[in-house]
Each structure stands twice: as C-alpha cells, then as structure tokens.
Amino acid sequence: MRRLQEATVNVRTRSSAIIATLCLVTSLALTSASADESATGPRAAAALTQVAKATSPTAGAAGPGDTLWIAERAGTVRVLDGSGLGTPVLDISDETTTDGERGLLGIAFDPTFAHFYASFTDLQGTTTIDEFAVEDGRLQPDTRRTVLTQEQPYANHNGGDITFGPDGYLYIALGDGGSGGDPHGNGQNLDTLLGKLLRIDPGGGEPYAIPADNPFVDDANAKGEIWAYGLRNPWRFSFDAGTGDLLIGDVGQSDWEEIDWAPADSAGGENYGWSSMEGTHPFRGGTEPANHVPPVHEYDRTGLGCSVTGGFVYRGDALPELRGSYVFSDYCDGTLRTLRIEDGRVTEEGDLGVNGGEVISFAEGGDGELYVLNIAGSVFRVDPA
C-alpha cells in the first residue's frame, strides 16, 4: 500500500511524464520483488564480505587502477587491490594524534587521480588538508604541500571528510569546533570556517582559489570558502554519482541525528540550522532561521543509534534493486539503513538486514560498489545475500 502511494506521489511531483512513468515502473518492480516484506522492511537483502582488515580505518577513496585507498586513523594510508591490503603508502603518524576525535579523518583523489589529499588534525589539533601529486599510481612525497588549515578550539567535532564534487571542486566538511552545544556559535557565524561545508579549487591558486560562484564571495562579512553552513559535525558526506545530489550525515548533540540533502543544481548557501536547530527541533530555546533547510531525514536515540554515519547513494551493479538508494548507518547501532529520496523527500525507509558493527565510514569503489568500514578494523564490501 505504501509503495502504491509513493508511486502516486511520484506521478504528481514530477514535471516530466516520462520520468514519472519510469518511477512508477520502478516502484512497481520493487513491490513485486519484495512483496513478502513489510513496507519498512529490507528492500534489498545484502551480505557483508570482509575484504580486508585494517587498523582503525576512518575513510576510503577509489584510487587509480581499480584500487581502494584506506585511511587509518593513526595516520597511515594503505591500498587495497586484488592482492589485498598493502603496506602503508603514506605514514604521517608522527604528525597527528588520536586524542578525542582526532586523527587522519579523510582522503580524496581529484577526478583524474593526478592529486591525492589527506585531511587530518595536526599535533595541535588543527585541521590540515595536504596535497600530494600522484604519478603512476604512487604518491610523490616531495610534492607535498598544505592547502588549507583551520584551528580547532576543542578535540571533538572536527568533521574532516573531503571529496571532489561533480563540479571538480574540493569540498571539505568542518565541525563546529567542538565541546558541546556550539559554545562559540560557529554554526550560524559566516565569519568562521567551523560548522561549514567548504568548496575550494586547490589547483586554481596558491594555496587554493575560491570559486567565483561560491555563495558568499561578495559578502564582506562571510568567508568565501563557505558552500553551506549550520552544521554541527558533518562527519561523512557524499555526492550521488548518478545525480550529483549532495548528502550529509550531521551528528546530533543529544537527541536528533540527521541526514541533509541538496540537489545537484543547488547554488549553495544552504543553512542547515545548527545550533539554532537540532534536526527539525529548536535547540536550547533557539529560533528556527527563516532560511533553515531542514534535514531530509532525522531519527532520535531511542533505539536506532547515537551518531549518524553518512554513506552513499548506491550506484553499483551487484545489487540492482538497491540502485538509487542512500545507504547509511550509525556508529552505535551498525544496521545498514536505506532511504529512497525523490525530489528532496524521503519516500521509503528500509534496511539491508545486516549490521556492520561500529560503522565509522563508507567508501564507494571505482566500480560503484559500496564498502563499509568499522572502527574495529573490518573493511566490508556490500554483496548480494
């Protein structure tokens, strides 16, 4: 019943009759394939195959030659290929610590695998984004340079995820600086990079250029690097490889975990609400900003977890019925959960019927297949059941 209602919604909200028909067919196909499951049950049964065992993996990125590069929190990067997980190709363990929520927190390649980026907190806790040239699939240590730094007033809420968008620019997620409750009001303050999603062009200047179409470049009271704001700890975010839509998992303070969404054609400038809002709820007497973009999905902590781990919209081949669904989890729960999002609204919730343990991160392989990282060390691939 619920899926039939969705199909109706799709028809009403899509401007193109052709797209509406495709959605309808898709919905009906899913209904047929899972007719024995409840509307909120698993939409695609999956299995988790452990493909590697790392040491406290925090991030992964598809690399050149069908490799998956894995960042380990203490400061090493190792490459997973057909022969397994290799010895470290980068070791900055003497430049970072794992105090609080610190460490090597994010890695990314540019779209042509010409440069590799590492996002970590340094010995003072300062967020640091460093760049290395890549030649023949290898990092060139003598090309290392620092692209961006941001001091962090506390050891938690560093954000730290980095990835290139479909526009070819580097996006950097930074938390609100830490402590609790955003004591410095960074989330709503456009004069700091903390509590923001940034968008920069690392190849356009030294140390980087700010794209001319960033939303606040003409605002003297705002940092030009800011793409979106009002974030608390956007620990993991991603772009849908199929549509270019942006999805952010923003960890809540004490009550509400949230997923934020923006369409591929967004001009940026979204205010995701923190710390006036926690999810859709005013935070500590806060007033909802007029331009608040509420989460596309939120959940409380009464059973589904305590710290959202943002994932990816699945675009692989192994689980055709999962294509187009956003897969995410929670560090404290571990269930792989799914959202089907149409026109910025969740039309279906489900899960994959598997648990990844303390899920700290996801990675998308070059072939679109999905990997799950848990802090205990497992690197899982999501396979058909």
Q: Whose CA is closest to 127, among 153, 92, 90, 93?
A: 153
Give min distance, CB of 333 to Ca ion, in A.
20
Nearest CB to Ca ion, comparing residues 269 and 273: 273
Pairing of strands 115-121, 104-109: antiparallel
Pairing of strands 234-239, 246-250: antiparallel
Give min distance, CB of 291 to Ca ion, in A.
12
Give min distance, CB of 342 to Ca ion, in A.
21
Distance CA(310)–CA(364), nearest Å, equals 12
Q: Any residues with CB less than 8 A from the CB of 287 and at least 6 apart, and which?
A: 276
Give min distance, CB of 359 to Ca ion, in A.
21
- Determine which helix (DSSP H) or strand (DSSP E) holds 110, and give its type and residue range: none
Could you list the beta-strand ranges (E) of 137-195.
Answer: 138-150, 162-164, 170-174
Nearest CB to Ca ion, comparing residues 46 and 296: 296
Give min distance, CB of 249 to Ca ion, in A.
11
32 three-class SS = helix
Nearest CB to Ca ion, comparing residues 42 and 273: 273
Axis crossing angle, helix 2-13 with helix 17-33, rounded to the nearest 10 = 170
**Helix, strand, coil abundance in the chain, percent, nearest 5:** 10, 40, 50
From 40-48, 73-81, 177-185, 264-272, span contacting Ca ion (CB under 5 A): 264-272
Q: Which two tokens stand for residue 234?
A: 């956007």
Q: Any residues with CB less than 8 A from the CB of 17 and at least 6 apart, and which?
A: none
Q: With binding defined as CB under 5 A, does residue 305 bind Ca ion?
A: no
Q: Which residue is nearest to Ca ion (CB)?
A: 273
Site for Ca ion in 271-290 (CB under 5 A): 272-273
Residue 168, sorted as left (phi over 0), alpha (psi -120 to 50) or beta, turns out to be: left
Nearest CB to Ca ion, comparing residues 258 and 364: 258
Give min distance, CB of 277 to Ca ion, in A.
6
Nearest CB to Ca ion, comparing residues 272 and 328: 272
Give min distance, CB of 205 to Ca ion, in A.
31
Q: How far is CA 368 from CA 35, 138, 261, 323, 364, in A?
A: 27, 22, 20, 10, 6
Nearest CB to Ca ion, comparing residues 57 and 230: 230
**Site for Ca ion (CB under 5 A): how many residues?**
2
Question: Mask: binding to Ca ion, 99-128, rule CB under 5 A, as x and -?
Answer: ------------------------------
Site for Ca ion in 4-43 (CB under 5 A): none
Nearest CB to Ca ion, comparing residues 232 and 340: 232
From 73-81, 99-107, 160-168, 265-273, span contacting Ca ion (CB under 5 A): 265-273
Nearest CB to Ca ion, comparing residues 80 and 248: 248
From 22-30, 130-138, 191-199, 269-277, span contacting Ca ion (CB under 5 A): 269-277
Site for Ca ion in 152-181 (CB under 5 A): none
Nearest CB to Ca ion, comparing residues 118 and 231: 231
Give min distance, CB of 252 to Ca ion, in A.
8
From 81-89, 266-274, 331-339, 364-372, span contacting Ca ion (CB under 5 A): 266-274
Yes or no: say if 220 and 145 are a contact pair by the CB < 8 Å rule: no
Dihedral angle, C-alpha 380, 381, 384, 385, nearest 10 °: -10
Nearest CB to Ca ion, comparing residues 227 and 272: 272
Give min distance, CB of 182 to Ca ion, in A.
11
Give min distance, CB of 258 to Ca ion, in A.
5
For the chain, how many residues are written? 385
What is the DSSP secondary-structure string of 303-349? Answer: SS-SSEEEEEE---SS-GGGTTEEEEEETTT-EEEEEEEETTEEEEE
70 three-class SS = strand
From 42-50, 185-193, 268-276, 354-362, span contacting Ca ion (CB under 5 A): 268-276
Residues that bind Ca ion in the complex, under the rule CB under 5 A: 272-273
